[in-house]
Structure 1
Amino acid sequence: MNCGKCNPQQLGIDFSMAFQPIVAFNEKRTWGYETLVRGVNNEPASFILDQVNESKVHSFDQIIRSRSIRLAHSLQFDQILSINFLPNAVYKPENCIQSTLKVCDELGFDKKRIMFEVTEIEKITDHAHLKNIFTEYKKHQFLTAIDDFGAGYSGLNLLAEWQPDIIKLDMNLIRDIDQNKTKQLIVKSILDVCNGLNIKVISEGIETVGELSVMVDFGVDLFQGYYFAKPLFENLPVVPEACFTLHA
């Protein structure tokens, strides 16, 4: 099974994936892995995304899902697989999800292990369309998430219209939060809202034990960032056991 290359006749862009762990701190385990697009020689995501014009965005969105699932299957892990998707590439949710369902059925990949993330940074003008996408995904038991929450255009307005399973706090809110009282107050407010709506929170961009300590004190358990592991090309990073201990 070829997990490394997409069909050049279908897309004309060749790419692969890197994986970064999402950890459950209190349980001292890896909760899942996010797939991050890379060039076939581990070029950064921008190298690939700059080649995706409007005529290719639908095919790219479809193939990146299939690629992520196939590569995850080949790596034989049983945690959550988090996949970024492009809502503007989904013209009709019930039709566009079929290729993903087909790959899951072909490989015997548990749909409940897949989490679809949409970034808040992308300007989404049609909230009803995005709500329809997430409603369709939940119907098939996929997890849904808003990535980069707090960085983009909509913020809490998105949560007023529909509630994903998870939000991922933007790393700029987390950066140096142990030294920034304003960020602490903002993040506490977001966490209060999420707790009331029964939405799990992933704290992205953790790079220091100080940032981690504050977020653990705030009651967050799921984390992602260089403190635990950098993305690893076509393989799964190992999170050192020491990362699960808060050192004085």
Structure 2
Amino acid sequence: MRPIPRYEDDENLLSEVIRSVLRSVRLRLGMDVGFISEFDKGNRIFRYVDGENPPIAPGGADPLSESYCSYIVRGLMPGAMQNAADDPVAAGMKPTKSIPVGAHLSTPIVLPCGGLFGTLCCFSYAPNPDVGEAQLRLLQFSAEQIANLLGMVGKKNKNYLATEDAVRCVLKNRAISIVFQPIYRLSDDRIVGFEALARFPSTLLGSSPDKWFEGADTVGLGIEMEFLAVEEAVAGLLKLPEDAALSLNLSPASIASARFVQLFGSMPLDRIILEVTEHAAIEGYAELKSALEPFRKRGLRLAIDDVGAGYSSFRHVLDLNPDLIKLDISLIRGIDRDPGRQALASAISEFARRMDCEVVAEGVETDGELASLRAAGITKVQGYLISKPLTLADVPILLRRYRSREGLVLRLDRSG
């Protein structure tokens, strides 16, 4: 039996409960829109919004000084208004007419530590003569519930909300760029493919792709973020050499989603390699293998990424029968000085030959590492020794530098 998750341990569950409380009180009060705002550095930030086609959205913000909330928490405007246009302060404020705001209820959200988080507000587009102290007390009770939920995780929850805002902003603005790292075949010294790698703006989560994908997953938007990266990468496929493969990364959860079928159904699958991370848990191997089968029949190649990191059982490799095994950088770093790593690379290479698949070594940075991987029978490599990840515009420049009479042949250039 799975343990019942606790709010303080599950930020996704906490967020859903807060949304549920907000919706419940809005409907109980008969209001059109409800929202939870946070006061931060002179701004009112809408953290949660509920309603039919609301005029505000989660993550949106406006100056706190120009909002009803500012006046209400200072006691300069009543918490319950049957018609905002009848209040002398609200009547002169822009939202009263532009939205418009009819009946309005608002109360501060005070955290258990005593700090003011923001406000819980509900309003309707039309006046409502039934709004009064009884409705305001219900809103205040709900605000206490929400404050306790927010207080369970304190700063951690605030970081969660900020992370959700940052992720949603990237998704909305498609603020992600793709770079392409060459994959180099050792048998004939050729670039035979490129792995698409996501790059993010340096904001709250930094610029590390791992942090961004982890953050997106934490706030329940991991699948959306993964597919945004895939869409942006595939958009550049036509500008890559026609005989070069494009390697894309997706988690098992994304592969199992309906969106995978929609997106990959129209791709030139004979040019696509799908990398499944080796340290992501897979609950149903048979189901995943079955979902991938029609795409693999059309030419899609499957790679298990990060082999040697996370789950070390190789079960992904054994149960999914991939076309490629990608060795994690932790096995490659310093392999030329480590007999144990050399032996393991040789064993994996021999295993791959028997399974009729290839081995790709990631993160190759030195001549010594490359020599050891050749000796171990590794068939493909990628890493800074070959080339750093390139923008789409820089790919032709790299290829022209190493063009030969036989084709696109790469000769490692020590001059940079």
Q: Same fold judged by TM-score > 0.5?
A: yes
Deviation (angstroms), 1:77: 2.1
- Retained in 2: the 8 A contact 1:61–1:85? yes
What does residue 59 of structure 1 align with? 224
Counterpart amino acid of residue 11 in structure 1: L
Following superposition of structure 1 onto structure 2, how do residues 215-226 of structure 1 map, counting pairs within 5 Å? Answer: 215-226=373-384
Q: Which of 1 and 2 has greater Rg? A: 2
225-234 vs 56-65, greater mean Cα deviation: 56-65
Q: Which residue of 1 aligns with 2:29?
A: none
CA shift for structure 1 position 22: 0.3
Output the CA distance in 2 between the equivalents of 1:48 and 1:213: 34
Aligned-residue offset at 1:128? 2.9
Gaps of 5+ in 1: 1-7, 105-109
Match of 1:11 in 2: 171
The TM-score with structure 1 as length reference comes to 0.81
What is the percentage of aligned positions where both structures have the same residue?
Answer: 28
Cα distance change, pair 190–48 in 1 and its aligned pair in 2 (3 A): same
Q: How high is the TM-score relative to the length of structure 2?
A: 0.50
2:197 maps to which residue?
A: 36
Q: Which residue of 1 aligns with 2:95?
A: none
CA contact (8 A) 2:317 2:325 kept: no
In 1: Cα distance, 2:374 partner to 2:363 partner:
14
Q: Does 1:231 align with 2:389?
A: yes
Aligned partners of 1:101, 1:40: CA distance in 2, in Å?
30
Structure 2 gap ranges (5+) = 1-167, 403-409
Q: Which has the higher contact order (CA 8 A, sep 6+)?
A: 1
Query: Over aligned residues, Cα RMSD in angstroms?
Result: 2.7
Measured at CA, do residues 189 and 98 of structure 1 come closer, stay the same or move farther in structure 2, by a change above 3 Å? same
Alignment partner of 2:247 out of 82, 93, 106: 82
8 Å Cα contact 2:304/2:316 also seen in 1: no
- Decide whether the 8 Å contact of 2:346 with 2:377 is kept in 1: no
Partner of 1:186: 344
Kindly report which structure 2 residues correspond to 1:235-246, keeping only aligned pairs within 5 A, or say none. Answer: 235-237=393-395, 238=398, 241-243=410-412
Letter in 2 for 1:212: L
Closer, same or farther: CA 60–197 of 1 in aligned 2, 3 Å: same
Q: Distance in 1 between matches of 2:253 and 2:390?
A: 28
* Partner of residue 326, structure 2: 168
Query: Which residue of the partner structure matches residue 89 of structure 2?
Result: none
**Contact 1:20–1:232 at 8 Å: present in 2 too?**
yes
Residue of structure 2 in register with 1:45 after alignment: 209
Match of 2:304 in 1: 146
| 1:120-148 superposed Cα distances (whole Å, 9 cap, x missing partner) | 12233333333234324313321110011
Change (3 A) 1:154 1:127: farther
Instruction: Confirm whether residue 70 of structure 1 aligns to residue 235 of structure 2.
Output: yes
Q: Secondary structure at the match of 2:196?
A: strand
User: Is 1:117 the equivalent of 2:286?
Assistant: no
Alignment deviations for residues 62-91 of structure 1 (CA, whole Å, 9 cap, x no partner): 332221111222x24220000001211233
Aligned length: 230
Kindly provide the CA deviation profile for residues 175-229 of structure 1, in whole angstroms up to 9, marking residues without a partner as x.
Answer: 1111111111111111111111101111111111111111112222311011111
Task: Give the drift of 1:151.
Answer: 1.3
Which residue does the alignment assign to 2:262?
98
After TM superposition, the structure 1 stretch with the greater mean CA deviation from structure 2, 120-129 or 159-168, is: 120-129
Q: Deviations over 1:131-175 (max 9, x none)?
A: 234324313321110011111215322233231100111111111
Contact kept in structure 1, 2:304 and 2:322, CA below 8 Å: yes
